[in-house]
Each structure stands twice: as C-alpha cells, then as structure tokens.
C-alpha cells in the first residue's frame, strides 16, 4: 500500500440474515465484493439510492460492522477484526458524523460534556481546565461561540446541532472522518453552509473525508473522487470531473439526469424508472438490467466486472463502449437565490474570522 493511501478495502462483502431455528431468514447481501483505495487528504464520496448499501459500506470501513468476507486496511494495519485497545486507537483515528443531528446527541448532556467525552476517552491525561479550553477551541472551529458549551442540544437548530456533531467528531484529532448523509436531515438553505464547513475543515486540518450521500448535487463541489453504488456494488468510480462530466454507466447517467437544472424551477430532465430490486433477491447478471434502457440478453447472463476506462475512471458495464456520454451533463445543485446569498455571507464571514448565523440555522 502506498503511503498516499490511508484506507483500502479488498473484496469487501457483508451478508445479513440466514439465521433462525425453524425457518431461516432470507440472506441479504448488502455489500458485494467491493475494492477501493482512499487517499490521504482527499474527499471521497459514495453515492447511490437509498438501500444501495452505501451506509453498510461506511460502517464496514469504520469497523462498526464485521465483514463477512474481505479485508479493510487503515494506515497499513488490517482492521477487519481488531478488538480491545487496537479498536479504541482506531476510534481515535477514524470518526463518524451521523445523519441525524437530532438523535445523535444525548439531550441530557451539555454541549461541553458531549464534545469533551471523546477527550476523556482518548486524552485521559488532559486536566479539566485544558479539556474546557479544547472544547472552546473546537466550538470556534465549527463556527459556534465558546459560551455554547453550557447549553443543551434542544436549544440549537439542526444546522447548529450538526456543527456540534462535527466538533465532537474532531475532538480526538482523527485522521479520517466518515459523514453518513451529513446534511440530508437539514434545511436546504443550511446544507451549503455545513458542506462548506466540512470542506474548509478537511483542507485546514489535512483530514481525509468520506461522504455518503444519495444526492449527487450535494457532493458535486466537495469531492475529489466519487464511487457510485447500485445494489451493493460499485458500478462507477473516478474523479469528480470524470464521473460528473463523462459518466459512462447508464445508472450514473440516469442519476445525473434526474437532478433539476441549476437555478431553475423546471422538472428534472429524466426520471429513473422502476425501483431498485431487493438485496435479498438480486437479479442475475448486471443487477441494473431490470431498469437499464441499454440492456441486452447478455446483460443478465454475467455480472460485469469493473473495468478501467480512463486515467482513474472505472465502470462495471458490459456495454460501456457502446453507450454515448450525454452532452451537457451537469450536476450543479439547484440552490435558491436566498440560499446563494446565505452561502456567500457565510464564506465572507469565515474569511473575516467570524461566522454569522442566519435565522434558519
Ligand atoms: Fe445496462 Fe447491460 Fe450495462 Fe448493465 S451491463 S448497465 S444492463 S448495458
């Protein structure tokens, strides 16, 4: 593994079910044979529809779940089955930002206690005074006043709570942070601010960021590389420019086409037809063939292997050479003018060293 690579997955597979005494429950293969490398300091996005296995993959990468098959290597160490002190060390270096800022913070704890808790575990020699100082610094780092340490989570808006969740994730000084849909529970006008904050923190702290999202518009401007998942498999992977501007897989093309045009109230150009099949009964061959406009009989005969189609661009489709790349493909987020001005205000405030909070946050 090159020193540029911080995390590697090889042949990662996760199956659930199959247990039961009288009648076995159906086996669901949530993640199938995934191999990827995440480079130090990059922002890597994993996208796909709900139920595609992206959250399970995130939990496997963080060692919150045991893989059924395959291996995860972090900073040169196989972490697939680590326990005890090794797992505690891993938790210091890899942190998680949860989707729901409303339920991920204990309502009975003050913000200071919530952010200070990881410090008690990972920096036990830090005295109470230094811990308070560190909590104040973390709050300021995420754009909240230090005095907020004495308040409780219910006193904050969704965007502010997610900032508290980010401060908590940063407390142990992690090398890698995984955000599972970190903005999808937030008001659209606040999403850009939190995305921007994550981008700035990743750059300033040299963090590696893995962002899980179902909305390609959300990750368009923050990710260096993107992996698109369908029914437990990566079906396309490449730099953000390769995936967004030259999508080769029909599923990626359909996802991009379903995003509304920028600054427009027009309906999306195209809707993806049908529903993703259940992971407990995947179709044979290419799992997308039940929805793919380019499918032929060969598509249901064999699972396509992921093939290199460009510099760092790969795709899993039998017919990728026959499928044209749509012209004018774009995935600009359709922000409202109000959100645009709030976004600009936030950028300006950050550059000036202080952060303004709008009425929705
Ligand atoms: Fe469509 Fe066939 Fe390619 Fe699958 S392998 S995406 S069904 S063309």
286 lines ligand 1 (CB under 6 A): yes
Query: How high is the pLDDT of residue 332?
Result: 46
Query: How high is the pLDDT of residue 281?
Result: 85
- Rounded to whole angstroms, the Cα distance separating 121 from 86 reads 14
Structural domains of the chain, count:
1
Query: How high is the pLDDT of residue 342?
Result: 35
Atom of ligand 1 nearest to the CA of 250: 6
91 lines ligand 1 (CB under 6 A): no
- 270 within a domain of the structure (yes/no): no
Query: How high is the pLDDT of residue 190?
Result: 87
294 C-alpha vs ligand 1 centroid, how far in Å? 6
- 344 within a domain of the structure (yes/no): no
Neighbours of 9 (CB within 10 A): 22
| CATH number for 32 | 3.40.50.300
- 108 within a domain of the structure (yes/no): yes
- 250 within a domain of the structure (yes/no): no
Query: How high is the pLDDT of residue 1?
Result: 53
What range defines the domain where residue 88 resides?
Answer: 5-228
| Residues of the chain with confidence (pLDDT) below 70 | 1-3, 20-23, 260-271, 328-361
Query: How high is the pLDDT of residue 359?
Result: 32
Letter string b/e over residues 99-137, b meaning 16 or more CB atoms within 10 A of that residue's CB = bbbeebbeeeebbbebbbbbbeebbeeeeeeebbebbbe
Residue of 228, 250, 254 with the most ligand 1 atoms within 8 Å of its CB, for mutation: 250
- 345 within a domain of the structure (yes/no): no
Q: Are strands 208-213 and 43-47 parallel, antiparallel or unpaired?
A: parallel
Residue of 289, 303, 305, 314 with the most ligand 1 atoms within 8 Å of its CB, for mutation: 289
- 241 within a domain of the structure (yes/no): no
- 234 within a domain of the structure (yes/no): no
Query: How high is the pLDDT of residue 360?
Result: 36
- 266 within a domain of the structure (yes/no): no
- Rounded to whole angstroms, the Cα distance separating 289 from 102 reads 38
318 C-alpha vs ligand 1 centroid, how far in Å? 6
Atom of ligand 1 nearest to the CA of 251: 6
Q: What is each CA distance from 357 to 86, 260, 322, 352, in whole angstroms?
A: 40, 28, 50, 14
Which pTM does this prediction carry? 0.86
């Amino acid at each position: 593994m090159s020193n540029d690579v911080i995390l590697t997955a090889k042949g990662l597979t996760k199956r659930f079910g199959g247990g039961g005494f009288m009648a076995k429950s159906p086996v669901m293969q949530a993640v199938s044979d995934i191999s990827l490398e995440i480079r130090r300091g990059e922002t890597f996005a994993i996208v796909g529809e709900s139920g595609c296995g992206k959250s399970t993959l995130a939990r496997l990468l963080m060692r919150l779940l045991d893989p059924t098959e395959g291996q995860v290597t972090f900073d040169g160490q196989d972490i697939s089955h680590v326990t005890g002190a090794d797992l505690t060390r891993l938790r210091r270096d890899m942190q998680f930002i949860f989707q729901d800022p409303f339920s991920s913070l204990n309502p009975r704890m003050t913000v200071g206690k919530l952010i200070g808790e990881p410090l008690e575990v990972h920096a036990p020699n830090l005295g109470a005074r230094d811990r308070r100082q560190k909590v104040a610094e973390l709050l300021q780092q995420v754009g909240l006043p230090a005095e907020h340490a004495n308040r409780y989570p219910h006193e904050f808006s969704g965007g502010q709570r997610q900032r508290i969740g980010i401060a908590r994730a940063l407390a142990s000084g992690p090398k890698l942070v995984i955000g599972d849909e970190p903005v999808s529970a937030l008001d659209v006008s606040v999403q850009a601010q939190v995305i921007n904050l994550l981008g700035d923190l990743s750059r300033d702290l040299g963090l590696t960021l893995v962002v899980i999202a179902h909305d390609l518009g959300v990750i368009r401007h923050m990710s260096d590389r993107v992996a698109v998942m369908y029914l437990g498999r990566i079906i396309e992977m490449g730099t953000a420019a390769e995936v967004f501007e030259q999508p080769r897989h029909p599923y990626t093309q359909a996802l991009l086409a379903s995003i509304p045009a920028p600054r427009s109230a027009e309906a999306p150009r195209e809707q993806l037809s049908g529903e993703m099949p259940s992971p407990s009964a995947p179709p044979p061959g290419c799992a997308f063939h039940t929805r793919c406009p380019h499918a032929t009989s060969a598509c249901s005969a064999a699972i396509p292997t992921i093939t290199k189609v460009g510099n760092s661009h790969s795709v899993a489709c039998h017919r990728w050479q026959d499928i044209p790349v749509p012209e004018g493909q774009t995935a600009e987020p359709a922000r409202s003018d109000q959100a645009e001005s709030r976004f600009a205000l936030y950028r300006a405030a950050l550059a000036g060293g202080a952060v303004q909070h709008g009425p929705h946050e």
